[in-house]
Amino acid sequence: MDDVLERIKQQVESNPVVIYMKGTPEMPRCGFSQRASQALAATGFPFAYVNVLEDPEIFDNLPRYADWPTFPQIYVDGELVGGCDITLELYQNGELKGLVEAAITKHDTPST
């Protein structure tokens, strides 16, 4: 289990934006994952994704990683933003694009 949590930590910290979802952005396997990935895509910025249906270890352990029981889970700049409802709310009020852009800018800027 520790290996899986370490792998999740690595994915969350090495990608400015990552969504853990059922399916892929092109072929989502649940409506919540579809809507959340569409909101991320609508920001115009790239994001990473992990298909939890193809990785049973992550599917089983991700809810423990940030104490969030459901999928999708969206992480921006290493922090759990939330699931579908929160992501859509952030998108609709215009905050999502700024969060994503700031995370990508921060990741692309070498730290001194």
CA distance linking residue 90 with residue 103, whole number of Å: 15
Q: Is 84 annotated as a binding residue?
A: no
Closest to 40 measured CA to CA, from 52, 25, 62: 25
Beta strands in the chain (DSSP E): 17-21, 48-51, 73-76, 79-82
Closest to 82 measured CA to CA, from 97, 71, 93: 71
- Residue ranges for the known binding site are 30
- Residue ranges for the known binding site for [2Fe-2S] cluster are 30
